[in-house]
Amino acid sequence: MADLQSIVDGIYSDLTPRLGEGKVADYIPELAKVDPKQFGMAIATVDGQLFTVGDAATPFSIQSISKVFMLTLALGKVGEAVWNRVGREPSGSAFNSIVQLEHEHGIPRNPFINAGAIAVTDIVLAGYQPKEAIGEYLRFMRMLADDDAITIDGKVARSENETGYRNFALANFMRGFGNLHHPAEHVLGVYFHQCALSITCTQLARAGLFLAAEGKNPLTGHSVVSAKRARRINALMLTCGHYDGSGDFAFRVGLPGKSGVGGGILAVAPGKASIAVWSPGLNKVGNSLLGSVALEMLAARTGWSVFAGHGSESRA
Ligand code: DON
């Protein structure tokens, strides 16, 4: 395998002619202002190295990638009881779909579609004021990335609060089924702030590293979750992390991954590295278009697909 820096440099130069492809999310007005011609990538390896390229130091809106970290907090708080509130099956539908919720009596399919993430946020909120829950999440993200410069963009949170009609519908619908224990306004206040976290590829790759290293952050020595829990979170990312594009992402990339409408994707190569990629243009199912292509190239050039077998470094 060529060294990782030349691999990421190669991916960046191969993608440079395509910068700007895809469509920036515009249903959150503040996100529509982002320059689409940006691309960054960062790889944090379990042995402590960091490889970056392009706009890896530019902050972007974490959006749905936050769902992985809030799930981690919820599991820490109530353990397996999370699964009484939310399922573990791919949805096969859009991230903000409401149709399945009625059939399934207000229990969302998985923690990564919006409805499931809202239920998870409700779990994290228990016993707290919304501000305290947001503070707990922000401290967790700073601890994981080992970087206190990470902040929440209040403008993005407000923008979504003013236009998030579908999320209010999902939350109220679940409250009607008894699967939301706090007022929708409180839960969504936390949810919109968690999604509005500003983070760079470098910070995100570092924050996700515990998932690649059996639950332990090798940079800080912190034990974040058990090895079993890290494995299970990875399994959910692989099967549900890209909504209705999850099957295609597994087919093309073969790594657990979680996307956000800010254009970011966090991918995990277990035992090897955590990878963050960001490019704001999205494909039809709301996942970063060039980010997915970049990860497909990375998986092919490193042999890191979880389906490739141990020690395999096949390149095609
Ligand atoms: O709730 C929303 O619609 C956004 N805050 C997050 C959606 C999202 O990132 C979907 N990911 N691709």
| pLDDT tens by residue, 84-97 | 999 999 988 888 88
Does residue 64 line the site of ligand 1, with CB under 6 A? yes
The reported pLDDT for the residue numbered 94 is 80
Position 115, amino acid: A
Q: What DSSP string describes 134-166? A: HHHHHHHHHHHHT-TT-EE-HHHHHHHHHH-HH
**How far apart are the C-alpha atoms of 306 and 303, rounded to whole Å?**
9
Which pLDDT tens digit goes with each residue over 250-275?
Answer: 999 999 999 999 999 999 999 999 99
Q: Retrieve residue 101's tokens.
A: 């919720």
**pLDDT by residue (tens digit) across 96-106?**
888 889 888 99
User: Is the CB–ligand 1 distance for residue 114 below 6 Å?
Assistant: yes
Q: What is the per-residue pLDDT across 18-31, written as a single tens digit (0 to 9) for each?
A: 999 999 999 999 99
The angle at the Cα of 250, spanning 303 to 260, to the nearest 5 degrees, equals: 110
Chain length of the chain: 316
CA distance 308 to 293: 18
Pocket probe mutation, ligand 1, options 95, 120, 194, max atoms within 8 Å of Cβ: 95
| DSSP string computed for 182-207 | S-HHHHHHHHHHHHTEEE-HHHHHHH
- pLDDT of 134 > 90? The answer is yes
**pLDDT at site 17:** 98
Cα 254 to Cα 299: distance, rounded to the nearest angstrom: 7
pLDDT at 237 over 60: yes
Say what the pLDDT of residue 95 is. 82
Nearest residue CA, atom 4 of ligand 1? Answer: 63
Q: Which residue ranges form the domains of the chain, and what is each CATH number?
A: 4-61+198-302 (3.40.710.10), 64-196 (3.40.710.10)
Say how many Å lie between the CA of residue 12 and the centre of ligand 1.
26
User: For the segment 8-64, what is each residue's pLDDT rounded down to a tens digit?
Assistant: 999 999 999 999 999 999 999 999 999 999 999 999 999 999 999 999 999 999 999
Q: Which among 165, 161, 223, 152 is positioned nearest to 194, based on CA atoms?
A: 152
What integer is the mean pLDDT of 114-137? Answer: 98
Torsion of CA 107, 99, 263, 223, to 10 degrees: 10
316 pLDDT exceeds 80?
no
For residues 144-152, give the mean pLDDT: 97
